[in-house]
Amino acid sequence: MTYVKWTFWTIVAVIVGAFLHYTLPQHDVVRVVNTYQERQDLGDWTRIFWSSPEDQSASLVNRDVQFISTVTAAGKPVVYRNEDTGWGWPPYFKFDTANLQTEADDLKSSPENPKWAVVTHYGWRSEILSIFPNAVAIQPVESKDASVIPWFNIIFLTLFGMLVLTIRALWIQFRRRSIDPVLEDVADRIEDVTDRF
């Protein structure tokens, strides 16, 4: 029974962790090499990874999506999609796709004369599934060694951890006060009935 309990809580922790990792903002120091627009088919199950602003039809099969091609300081290519999130999930309330594309265009540079920028994004990149992280902001920085302290993530995860611990403490207290006495009473009655037989 202990294995089942730990397996269940491990699965819950992995699902919650994956959800938070996908949704919370991440920061990459990169060099912008290109921006472009491409027609994307949205008909298969990977549609969940694309934004679906309310001003677009839910039956839309394909649409033009803007992309920002970048390279990290280590030379690794990273491609971001640039889509509005609107009022939907995750709640970035991003409505400035055109502005962000212009800012990225302005930051294009060559390896000989690099301009470095911090791209704030959420989501994952998978070549197999053709999914891309969504860029929500881009800021120029002085060098490729710039570091960003993820204050929002630190504060959010601290508050989330406190909420989980509070709920756990309330559940334990509720179980001790309300459930355990009832279970003990039921066990006592079953024992009394068994003794009579």
- Residue 71's SS3 state is strand
71-83: burial string, b at 16+ Cβ within 10 Å, e else: beeeeeebbbbbb
Structure tokens at 53: 């602003």
Beta partners for 71?
31, 77
Calpha distance 77→125 (Å, rounded): 11
- Residue 33's SS3 state is strand
> Across all residues in the chain, what is the average pLDDT?
87
Mean pLDDT of 8-16: 94
- Write phi, then psi, for 185 (nearest 5 degrees): -65, -45
Exposure of 145 in the CB half-sphere (CA atoms within 13 A):
0
pLDDT tens-digit readout, 20-46: 999 999 999 999 999 999 887 666 666
Q: What percent of the chain has pLDDT over 70?
A: 89
Calpha distance 85→137 (Å, rounded): 12
**Is pLDDT above 90 for 192?**
no
pTM of the model: 0.79
pLDDT tens-digit readout, 100-131: 999 999 999 999 999 999 999 999 999 888 89
**Is pLDDT above 60 for 55?**
no
Band (4; pLDDT cuts 50, 70, 90): confident
Give me the pLDDT at residue 154, please. Answer: 96
pLDDT tens-digit readout, 134-143: 999 999 999 9
Calpha distance 135→101 (Å, rounded): 10
Give me the pLDDT at residue 116, please. Answer: 97
